[in-house]
Structure 1
Amino acid sequence: MIAHLTGTLATTAADHAVIDVGGIGYLFGASTRTLTALGATGERVTVHTEMLVAEDSIRLVGFASAGERDWFRLLTSVQGVGARVALAILSILDPTELTRAVVAQDKAMVARANGVGPKLAERIVRELKDKAGGAIAGAPGLPPPPAGTASADALSALANLGFRPAEAAGAVKAAEEELGPGATLDALVRIALKKASRA
Structure 2
Amino acid sequence: MIAKLRGLLDSFSADHAVIDVNGVGYLVLASSRTISALGAIGNDVTVHTEMQVSQDDIRLIGFATSEERDWFRLLTSVQGVGSRVALGILSALTGDELHRAIASGDKAMVARAQGVGPKLAQRIVNELKDKAGGVVLGSGGSPVSIVPAGNHSADAVSALLNLGFRPADASVAVAQAEVELGADASFDALVRVALKKSAR
* TM-score normalised according to structure 1 size: 0.69
CA distance in 1, matches of 2:93, 2:134: 20
1:10/1:20 contact within 8 Å kept: yes
Task: Give 1:62 shift.
Answer: 0.3
Residue 105 (structure 1) aligns with: 105
SS of the residue 1:119 aligns to: helix
Residue 85 (structure 1) aligns with: 85
Distance 1:136 1:101, change over 3 A: farther
Count, aligned residues: 146
- Percent sequence identity over matched residues? 66
Task: Give 1:145 shift.
Answer: 4.2
CA distance in 1, matches of 2:134, 2:91: 24
Residue 14 (structure 1) aligns with: 14
CA distance in 1, matches of 2:103, 2:148: 17
Which consecutive residues of structure 2, in runs of 5 or more, have no partner in the other structure?
A: 138-144, 150-165, 172-200
Instruction: Please state if 1:60 is matched with 2:56.
Output: no
Runs of 4+ in 1 over 3 A off after TM superposition: none
Task: Give 1:8 shift.
Answer: 0.3
CA distance in 2, matches of 1:75, 1:135: 13
1:50/1:60 contact within 8 Å kept: yes
Residue 73 (structure 1) aligns with: 73
Task: Give 1:132 shift.
Answer: 2.8
Residue 144 (structure 1) aligns with: 146
Residue 179 (structure 2) aligns with: none
Instruction: Please state if 1:23 is matched with 2:14.
Output: no
CA distance in 2, matches of 1:2, 1:25: 14
Task: Give 1:131 shift.
Answer: 2.3
2:99/2:133 contact within 8 Å kept: no
Which consecutive residues of structure 1, in runs of 5 or more, have no partner in the other structure?
A: 138-142, 148-166, 174-199
CA RMSD of aligned residues (A): 2.0
2:49/2:60 contact within 8 Å kept: yes
CA distance in 2, matches of 1:50, 1:101: 24
1:99/1:136 contact within 8 Å kept: no
TM-superposition CA deviations, 1:113-156 (whole Å, max 9, x none): 1110001001101100122344249xxxxx72448xxxxxxxxx
Task: Give 1:97 shift.
Answer: 0.8
* TM-score normalised according to structure 2 size: 0.69
